[in-house]
A and B are shown apart, each in its own frame.
Chain A
Amino acid sequence: MAVMPPSSETPKVELRKIFKDRLAAISEILLRSKVRLGLEFLGPLHFRTRLPHEFIWRMDELLDFSKECGPNIGLVLDAWHWRHAGAGVADILAAGKARIVHVHVSDAAKMPPEEVRDDRRLLPGEGVIDLVALFRALRQIGYEDGVSPEPLGRIPPDMSPEEGARLGLESTLAVMRKAGVA
C-alpha cells in the first residue's frame, strides 16, 4: 500500500501526470508477481490544506485515478478517511471487490472538520462512523480480504502488545458481528 498525498507544492494537473507515469511503471512490475497496490486517500481537512495545491483526497476521484494507473491498482479503504472525506456506501459499491485492496478500521468522535486530527482515533464501535454500513457494503461487493484495526493514538504507550492486539481484535470482531459479516 501507499498513501496518496492530499495536497502538494505542485499544481494538480502537473502532479497527476507525474504520479500516473510512476504508478503505471510500478503497476507493471507488480503485475508480474500478481500483486496489487492499494492507494490510501486521506480525508481530514488539515491534511488537504497543509500545502498550496489540493490533490486527490476523495474516494471517488482516487478510484478513477487508480483505474488509469493499472489493472492491479486500487484503494485502501480506511474507515476514518472514508468518513472525513465525506464518502459513503455508494462509493464502496462503485469501487467493487476488484478495486478495494485492503481495509483499515477505527472510529471517530463527533467533531467539526477543523478539529479532526489523524492521531485521535477510537477503537471500532466507540464512535460515530457507520461501520455496520461499511461492512455490509463490503459484504455486498464480495470483499474477502484483510481488515486491519488502525486506531492511531488510541492505544496507551504503556499497554502491552498482547493487550493492544487483543483489544483491536475484539472491538473489530464485535462490529463485524453486529454487521452480520463475522
Chain B
Amino acid sequence: MTRRDFLTGSAGVVAALGKAARAFGAGPGMFVSLNSSLTGRKTPWPAFARLAASIGYGGVDVMLDGARKEGLEATRALFGELKIQPGIAGLPMAFSGTTRRFRRA
C-alpha cells in the first residue's frame, strides 16, 4: 500500500467518523475528548472509546490503527452506539523526516 493509499484510507475513516457522530445527535459546543495520556496508554481500541463514553466524555481521541483494524463500518457503528464524537487522530505518516523516509512512506 502506498503512502497516498494509506493517507486516503485513513482520511476516509476520520471523515466518516465525524459525519457519523454528528448524525447521532452529538450537539454543538466544545466537548472534552479522552486522551491516552490519562490511561497510561493501557487501554486499546475500541475499549478506549467505550471507556470514554462510560466516564461521560463527549468525545475520544481516535486510535487510528485500531480503528482501521476494526474497519470503517464497525467504527461508524461504534460511534453511533456510544453517541460520542471523534476528537483528533494522529497523521498516519511522518512528514518531518528525511526526504527518503517521506517518499517511502
Contact = CB atoms under 8 A, between A and B. Distances in A.
Interface residues of B, number: 39
A146 B59 contact: yes
Interface string A23-36: 10010011011110
B85 A33 contact: no
Contacts of B90: 1-2
Interface string A8-19: 000000000011
Given A1-B89, A1-B91, A152-B37, A169 B32 contact: yes
Chain A interface, >50% SS class: mixed
B24 interface: no
Interface stretch (A84-92, A125-133, A155-163): A155-163
B46 to A, nearest CB: 14
B51 A161 contact: yes
Interface in B53-105: 54-57, 59, 61, 85, 87-91, 95-96, 99, 102
A35 B31 CA distance: 18
A168 B14 contact: no
A148 B33 contact: yes
A144 B15 CA distance: 17
Contacts of A3: 96
Interface residues on A, range: 35 or more
Interface of A: 1-5, 18-19, 22-23, 26, 29-30, 32-35, 37-38, 76, 101-104, 135, 138-139, 143-152, 155, 157, 159, 161-162, 164-169, 172-173, 176, 181-182
Interface of B: 4, 7-8, 11-12, 14-15, 28-35, 37-40, 42-43, 51-52, 54-57, 59, 61, 85, 87-91, 95-96, 99, 102
8 contacts: A1-B88, A26-B91, A29-B8, A145-B30, A146-B61, A155-B38, A169-B34, A172-B32
Given A145-B87, A147-B32, A165-B38, 17 more contacts: A1-B90, A18-B99, A26-B95, A102-B87, A103-B30, A143-B30, A144-B29, A146-B32, A146-B59, A146-B61, A146-B87, A148-B33, A148-B34, A149-B35, A159-B40, A161-B38, A169-B56
